[in-house]
C-alpha cells in the first residue's frame, strides 16, 4: 500500500460533537420541542400470544386533552414493517405475538393525559399457547406463529465429507454452547418528534442508523411518496444496532398526519425493554475433530437462533453466524446448518457483532478444548491451523489477501508472555488467577448479493467552506471525527475550513446504512474517488482569481498557498475570499456513487470480501467463595488497516470490549412464558466503572498486503467479538472449569467448581 493512501493526520483532537455532549449543551432528537407539540403514547400487548377479540377506544377519546386515537383502521398504506420482510404489524388487528406488539397510539396535550388514556382502553384477548423456546417452536405439534410456519430462515454450508473426516481424527470434541439475549442498553431510549409541514410533507426527527431505509418504510405505511418525507437521524444517544429497525416512527407519523401537530414520543426504559430489539439467543452444537498432526480435519455445526416474533434482520444474522462458524481456520471438511426460529419471545435483531459474538464463543471454546486434549499449547494449535495470506475465505470465496490472523495472534502472544499472572496471596488463598486468549475475524459490509450502496458529495460553498455530505448517521461511534480527520488529511486544510453534513435525507446523498462496520471504510473510499477532481477544480478557480499558474498553487490551512520548490510558503488567498471572487455561475461540486466491495466469485449470499481480525488476552481473578469473576486486564490486537482517528479507534475497541464483558459475566435479558423478567436497569445489570479492568490496552496493526487498495476497515463491532471466549478460557486457566454458556454468573461458576470437586 502506497504511503499517500495512509492518513497521516492522527494527532489528538477534540471530536466535533464532543464538547456539546460532555457539557450537555447538545440537543438530541428526543430533546427537541416545537410549537403546538402533542405527546404520543403507544398501547402494547400485555399478552405474548393471543387472539384480539375486541378493541375499545371510546373512553380514551372522551378524555379532555386527548387529540387523536389511532388503530390499524387508520393506516392508509401497508400495515407492516421490517428491514427484510414487512411482517411486523404497525398495529395488530386480530392477533398479538409478543408483549411489545402495538395495538393503539394516542396523542394528547401532555404525557400524563396520554398515559391516562392508555389506562382506559379495553382490549379483550383470547389467550393462545405461548411458544417460549425454539425447541417448542420446532415441534410438529407447535402452533404456527406465521403462515409459512415457525422457521424464519434455514441456511446451510457444506464442504468435503465431514463424517469421513471424523474417521481420520484422533481427537474429537463435541459441545453445546448457550448464548443469552442481551439488551443494547443505549442511554437514550427510542424517541423523537415527527412534524407535519405546511406543504403536506413530513419531517421525522428520530434517531436511526439508516434514514433512507426509514423513509422507504414510512412511505409504504403512510402511502405517500418518499420525497415527501424527510428523516433527520442524528445525533442520537447510542444504538449498537438497536435503532436500525423502525421503532416509534410509524406511530408518531400517523398521529402527526391526523392531528396536523408535531408529535413527540419518547419511550420509557420499561417500554423500550418490552418493544426494543435484543441480541439473538443461540444454542450452538459443535463437533470438531483433529488428526495426530494437530490439524483440524472436520467441523460440524448446528445453530438454533431465537429470533422472537418477527423477522427484522434475523435471516442476515444467521447467515453471518454460519459464515463465521469456521472462523480464521483452514478446515477441509465442514457441515454447517442453522435455523432462525420464530417464538413468542421479544424480537431479536441487529446487535453489535451481528451473530459473530455467539458463533465465535463456541468456535474458540472448541479450539481451547481440542488443544487441551492434544496437550498442545493453545496458541501454537491456533497458529498451526490459521488461514494463510492468500487462502480462501470461510465459505470458500475469494477474499482480499491478508495476514491479519497471524498478525493479531503473534502480537497478543507476545503480550501474553510479558504479562505477570497474579499469584495466590497466602492471605487470600480463596482467590485464583488465569489468562486466556481468543481470536476472531469479522466481515465488513452487508456481503455479496445484498444491496450495499455507498456515496458522498463535496461542495465548495459560497462562504468558502469545503462541505462534505454523506448519508450516514452519528450514533455515538465517532463518525464525525473520522470524516473531519479524513477531510483535513486529504485537503491539508484546517477544522475551520470544513463543514460536515450527515443524517438528513434532504441534504445528503445515499450512502447506505451506518452498520456492518462499513461507514469509515465508505467515507474513505468516497473521498479517494472525489479528491482529485475537487482539488483540481479548487486550484483552477484559484489560478483564475489570482492569475498564478496552477503548478505553483496548493490547498492548505485556511486557503490557497503559494508553492515554492514543492513546499507551501505563503497563504495567497483565503477560501472565503476565493469564494467571494468566484464567478456566480461557477459551482464546484463533486459526487460519487458506488457499492461496497464484494467477492467476485462468492457463491453464498451475504459472504464477505473485506475482513478485520482481532485477538484478545483476558486476565481474571476468581473468588472461589463467591464465584465472582473480576477481569483485571483486557488486551486487544486489531488488524483493520490504517487507523484514521487514533482516539476514536481505541474508544471503539475499548468500549466494545466493556460491552462484551457485560455479555460475558452479567447480562441476560431473561424471559418467562414470553414475558421479560427484568424491564429496567435496577434488575438488569450492565458494567459500570467499577467493573472496567484496571488495564485495557489496544494495539492497532495497520499494515496491509501489497496491492491492497481498500484502506481502513471499520472497527465498530470487532472489539466485542472475541472477549467472551478469552474470559472463558482465563476462567478455565484459573479454576479448571470449562464454560459452555453465558453469562458466567457467580451461581453458575460456583456450581461448576462444586461439580469439579
197-217 pLDDT tens trace: 999 999 999 999 999 999 999
Distance CA 282, CA 177 (A): 8
Residue 316 CA, distance from chain mean position: 13
SS3 615: strand
Cell of 283: 444454542
* Residues 356/394, Cβ–Cβ less than 8 Å: no
Query: What pLDDT does residue 8 have?
Result: 45
What is the edge-to-edge ordering of all strands in the sheet holding 431-443? Answer: 431-443, 611-623, 629-639, 695-701
| Category of 589 on φ-ψ map: left (φ > 0), alpha (ψ -120 to 50) or beta | beta
| Residue 333, φ and ψ in degrees, nearest 5 | -125, 120
For residue 575, what are the CA distances in angstroms to 488, 572, 578? Answer: 14, 10, 5
Query: What pLDDT does residue 421 have?
Result: 58
| Residue 636, φ and ψ in degrees, nearest 5 | -120, 135
Query: What pLDDT does residue 495 have?
Result: 95
Distance CA 272, CA 325 (A): 32
Tell me the sheet residues that pair with 387: none
List, for residues 530-577, the tens digit of each pLDDT value.
999 999 999 999 999 999 999 999 999 999 999 887 777 899 999 999
Split at pLDDT 50, 70, 90, the class of 5 is very low
Contacts 24+ apart (CB under 8 A), 144-151: 145/49, 145/97, 145/309, 145/342, 145/343, 145/344, 146/87, 146/342, 150/341, 150/342, 150/343, 151/339, 151/340, 151/341, 151/342
Tell me the sheet residues that pair with 701: 639
Mean pLDDT over the full length of the chain = 95
Is 282-447+601-756 CATH 3.40.50.12280?
Answer: no
Residues carrying CATH 3.90.1170.50, the chain = 32-128+187-238+243-275
List, for residues 468-522, the tens digit of each pLDDT value.
999 999 999 999 999 999 999 999 999 999 999 999 999 999 999 999 999 999 9
What is the average per-residue pLDDT within 430-442?
97
Query: What pLDDT does residue 1 have?
Result: 36
Return the CA Rg of the chain.
27
CATH T-level fold of 3-25+453-595: Aldehyde Oxidoreductase; domain 4 (3.30.365)
Residue tagged 483485571 (cell numbers): 632
What is the edge-to-edge ordering of all strands in the sheet holding 191-196? Answer: 66-70, 102-108, 38-44, 263-266, 191-196, 202-206, 229-232
List, for residues 292-345, the tens digit of each pLDDT value.
999 999 999 999 999 999 999 999 999 999 999 999 999 999 999 999 999 999
Query: What pLDDT does residue 162 have?
Result: 98
| Listed residue (572, 686, 639, 575) closest to 273, CA to CA | 686
Cell of 142: 407447535
Split at pLDDT 50, 70, 90, the class of 12 is low
Residues carrying CATH 3.30.365.10, the chain = 3-25+453-595, 282-447+601-756
Residue tagged 475475524 (cell numbers): 441
The secondary element (H helix, E strand) that includes residue 671 is strand 671-672
**Residue 30: half-sphere exposure toward Cβ, Cα within 13 Å:** 17
Cell of 92: 395488530
* Residues 508/231, Cβ–Cβ less than 8 Å: no
Q: What single-letter DSSP state applies at residue 607?
A: -
Split at pLDDT 50, 70, 90, the class of 423 is low
Distance CA 229, CA 59 (A): 33
Cell of 267: 419511550
DSSP codes joined into one string, 202-232: EEEEE--S-HHHHHHHHHHHHTS-GGGEEEE
Which are the contacts of 745, defined by CB distance < 8 A and separation ≥ 6?
627, 665, 666, 668
What is the average per-residue pLDDT within 613-621?
98
- Rounded (10°) angle between helices 646-665 and 723-735: 50
Sign (positive or negative) of CA dihedral 660, 662, 664, 669: negative
CATH T-level fold of 32-128+187-238+243-275: Aldehyde Oxidoreductase; domain 3 (3.90.1170)
| Strand bridging mode 282-290 / 50-56 | unpaired
Exposure string of 230-251, with b = 16+ CB inside 10 Å and e = fewer, is bbbbbbbbbbbbbbbbbbbbbb
List, for residues 623-672, the tens digit of each pLDDT value.
999 999 999 999 999 999 999 999 999 999 999 999 999 999 999 999 99
Predicted structure pTM score: 0.95
Distance CA 415, CA 438 (A): 13
Amino acid at each position: 500500500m502506497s504511503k499517500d493512501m495512509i492518513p497521516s493526520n492522527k494527532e489528538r483532537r477534540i471530536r466535533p460533537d464532543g464538547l456539546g455532549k460532555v457539557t450537555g449543551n447538545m440537543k438530541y432528537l428526543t430533546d427537541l420541542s416545537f410549537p403546538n407539540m402533542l405527546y404520543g403514547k403507544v398501547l402494547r400487548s400485555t399478552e405474548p400470544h393471543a387472539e384480539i377479540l375486541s378493541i375499545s377506544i371510546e373512553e380514551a377519546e372522551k378524555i379532555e386533552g386527548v387529540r387523536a386515537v389511532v388503530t390499524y383502521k387508520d393506516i392508509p398504506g401497508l400495515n407492516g414493517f421490517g428491514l427484510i420482510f414487512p411482517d411486523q404489524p404497525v398495529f395488530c388487528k386480530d392477533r398479538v405475538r409478543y408483549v411489545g406488539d402495538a395495538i393503539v397510539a394516542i396523542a394528547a396535550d401532555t404525557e400524563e393525559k396520554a398515559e391516562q388514556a392508555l389506562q382506559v382502553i379495553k382490549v379483550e384477548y383470547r389467550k393462545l399457547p405461548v411458544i417460549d423456546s425454539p425447541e417448542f417452536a420446532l415441534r410438529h405439534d407447535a402452533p404456527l406463529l406465521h403462515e409459512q410456519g415457525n422457521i424464519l430462515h434455514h441456511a446451510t454450508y457444506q464442504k468435503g465429507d465431514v463424517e469421513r473426516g471424523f474417521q481420520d481424527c484422533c481427537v474429537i470434541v463435541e459441545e453445546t454452547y448457550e448464548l443469552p439475549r442481551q439488551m443494547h442498553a443505549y442511554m437514550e431510549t427510542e424517541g423523537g418528534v415527527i412534524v407535519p409541514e405546511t406543504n403536506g410533507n413530513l419531517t421525522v426527527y428520530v434517531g436511526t442508523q439508516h434514514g433512507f431505509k426509514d423513509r422507504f418504510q414510512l412511505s409504504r405505511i403512510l402511502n405517500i411518496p418518499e420525497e415527501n418525507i424527510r428523516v433527520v437521524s442524528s445525533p442520537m444517544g447510542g444504538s449498537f444496532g438497536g435503532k436500525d429497525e423502525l421503532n416509534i416512527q410509524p406511530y408518531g407519523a400517523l398521529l402527526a398526519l391526523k392531528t396536523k401537530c408535531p408529535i413527540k414520543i419518547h419511550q420509557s426504559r420499561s417500554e423500550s425493554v418490552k418493544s426494543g430489539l435484543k441480541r439473538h439467543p443461540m444454542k450452538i452444537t459443535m463437533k470438531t475433530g483433529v488428526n495426530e498432526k494437530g490439524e483440524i480435519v472436520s467441523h460440524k455445526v448446528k445453530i438454533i437462533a431465537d429470533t422472537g416474533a418477527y423477522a427484522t434482520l434475523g435471516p442476515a444474522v444467521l447467515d453471518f453466524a454460519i459464515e463465521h462458524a469456521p472462523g480464521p481456520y483452514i478446515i477441509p471438511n465442514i457441515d454447517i446448518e442453522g435455523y432462525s426460529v420464530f417464538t413468542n419471545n421479544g424480537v431479536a435483531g441487529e446487535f453489535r457483532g451481528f451473530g459473530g459474538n455467539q458463533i465465535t464463543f463456541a468456535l474458540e471454546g472448541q479450539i481451547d478444548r481440542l488443544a487441551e486434549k492434544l496437550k498442545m499449547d493453545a496458541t501454537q494449535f491456533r497458529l498451526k491451523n490459521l488461514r494463510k495470506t492468500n487462502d480462501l475465505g470461510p465459505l470458500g470465496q475469494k477474499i482480499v489477501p491478508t495476514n491479519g490472523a497471524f498478525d493479531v495472534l503473534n502480537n497478543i502472544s507476545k503480550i501474553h508472555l510479558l504479562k505477570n499472572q497474579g499469584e495466590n496471596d497466602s492471605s487470600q488463598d480463596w482467590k485464583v488467577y488465569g489468562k486466556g486468549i481468543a481470536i476472531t475475524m469479522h466481515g465488513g459490509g452487508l456481503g455479496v448479493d445484498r444491496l450495499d450502496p455507498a456515496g458522498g458529495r463535496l461542495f465548495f460553498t459560497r462562504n468558502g467552506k469545503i462541505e462534505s455530505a454523506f448519508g450516514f448517521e452519528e450514533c455515538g461511534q465517532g463518525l464525525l471525527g473520522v470524516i473531519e480527520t479524513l477531510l483535513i488529511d486529504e485537503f491539508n486544510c484546517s477544522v475551520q475550513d470544513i463543514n460536515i453534513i450527515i443524517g438528513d435525507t434532504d441534504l445528503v446523498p445515499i450512502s447506505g446504512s451506518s452498520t456492518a462496520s462499513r461507514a469509515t471504510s465508505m467515507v474513505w473510499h468516497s473521498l479517494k474517488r472525489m479528491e482529485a477532481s475537487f482539488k483540481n477544480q479548487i486550484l483552477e478557480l484559484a489560478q483564475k482569481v489570482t492569475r498564478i499558474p496552477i503548478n505553483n498553487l496548493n490547498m492548505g490551512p485556511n486557503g490557497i498557498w503559494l508553492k515554492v520548490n514543492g513546499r507551501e510558503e505563503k497563504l495567497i488567498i483565503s477560501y472565503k475570499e476565493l469564494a467571494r471572487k468566484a464567478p456566480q455561475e461557477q459551482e464546484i461540486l463533486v459526487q460519487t456513487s458506488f457499492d461496497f466491495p464484494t467477492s467476485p466469485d462468492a457463491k453464498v449470499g451475504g459472504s464477505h470480501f473485506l475482513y478485520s481480525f482481532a485477538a484478545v488476552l483476558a486476565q481474571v481473578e476468581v473468588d472461589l467463595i463467591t464465584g465472582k469473576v473480576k477481569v483485571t486486564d483486557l488486551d486487544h490486537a486489531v488488524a483493520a488497516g490504517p487507523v484514521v482517528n487514533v482516539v476514536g479507534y481505541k474508544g471503539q475497541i475499548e468500549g466494545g470490549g466493556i460491552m462484551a464483558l457485560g455479555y460475558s459475566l452479567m447480562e441476560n435479558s431473561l424471559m418467562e412464558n414470553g414475558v421479560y423478567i427484568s424491564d429496567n436497569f435496577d434488575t438488569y445489570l450492565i458494567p459500570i466503572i467499577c467493573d472496567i479492568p484496571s488495564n485495557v490496552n489496544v494495539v492497532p496493526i495497520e499494515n496491509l498486503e501489497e496491492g491492497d487498495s481498500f484502506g481502513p476497515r471499520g472497527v465498530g463491532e470487532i472489539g466485542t467479538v472475541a472477549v467472551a471466549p478469552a474470559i472463558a478460557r482465563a476462567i478455565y486457566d484459573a479454576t479448571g472449569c470449562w464454560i459452555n454458556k453465558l453469562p458466567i454468573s457467580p451461581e453458575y461458576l460456583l456450581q461448576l467448581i462444586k461439580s469439579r470437586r
